[in-house]
Amino acid sequence: MSAVAKSTSALALHVHRFVPATGTGRPPLLLLHGTGGDETDLIGLGQAVSPGSALLSPRGNVLEGSAPRFFRRLAEGVLDQADVRRRAADFAAFIGAARETYGIAAPVALGFSNGANIAAALLQLHPGILAGAVLLRAMVPLDPPPPAEGLGGTPVLIVAGDADPIMPPGDPEKLAASLAAAGADVTLRRLPAGHGLTQADLALATAFLSRLS
């Protein structure tokens, strides 16, 4: 298979939207929705927190009933770790193809819930594929985590809700420690919030992304 054919095949792994950059100096964003979302869900959020950025927004290609996700889970809060690894490998190929097709740099992931979990798995399993990440309501995707290596200085913001009923106790701290052990520059912030996003989440994401410009 030719390089062009491989790229086209990998890009077809996810239905997606691409919004070209409208400014300069802002990193491209990889927008990763939560369970039941699609490729349109986080476009407005991406434009709000990083005006002018190119936006790459894929739809999860795993269905839970009729709800798109980025990987399977066995029950609420119980992730199918073998599927996480397989889908993360596919995602790494998709990102590489998208970069080639659309001419963008390595993106910064902006993920919510299930989308934040696949972004965390990408950081752990495929260091270098992302230039950074904003992980909103993420949980530990892989336990035990992969060997700690390869994330030297990669900026990561984790924002957790103190009243999040979905989050296993201690998961934000465990994820932060795992990514920091792999060399990432991790900031963990906790908010008086549940699983849903708040204006405080947007403010934290905006400030974090502005520092990457």
Could you give the residue numbers annotated as active site?
Answer: 113, 164, 195
Tokens read off for 117: 């979990």
